[in-house]
Amino acid sequence: MLELPTWADYLASFFIIIGASFAAVGSYGLLRLPDFMTRLHAPTKNTTLGVGGIILGSIVYFSVSDSLSLHELLIAIFLFMTAPISAHLLAKAGLHLEYKMISSTRDLREHPEDYSDKSQHTAKERDSERAD
């Protein structure tokens, strides 16, 4: 068995632990968050970073032990490109199917003028008029 240098061992372990922590938080968020839109956010962000950390640890390990292989880098690029696209498509499908949302989740379809750049001033004025 090949002995890694101490610095490479610590660096690979650091990346793997950070990646596993992000993946665990993303998995926990998938289980605990209340509705579809919030559940969608946790695994797409945290698990992507988690797999990225694990792949960085793998790159460090294999670059020191054997020879530098870029297969892990290609996997990371593919993952970082496809995860946001799949999350966007799942969110659009959830909106189209009108999944229930909790009250604290903002639905941009109710008052789209509140979220556009053009009407920032008018939305603030309307809110101040409602308060009066």
pLDDT class of 117 with cuts at 50, 70, 90 = low
Q: Where are the domains of the chain?
A: 6-101, 102-132
- pLDDT, greater one: 13 or 99: 13
User: Residue 115 in 3-state DSSP?
Assistant: helix
CATH architecture of structural domain 6-101: Orthogonal Bundle (1.10)
pLDDT in tens, 23-55: 999 999 888 888 888 888 888 888 889 999 999
> What per-residue confidence (pLDDT) applies to 80?
87
Contact 16, 54 (CB under 8 A): yes
DSSP3 helix / strand / coil % (the chain, rounded to 5) = 75, 0, 25
Structure tokens belonging to residue 110: 């109710």
pLDDT in tens, 56-106: 999 888 888 777 777 888 988 898 899 889 888 988 888 888 777 777 666
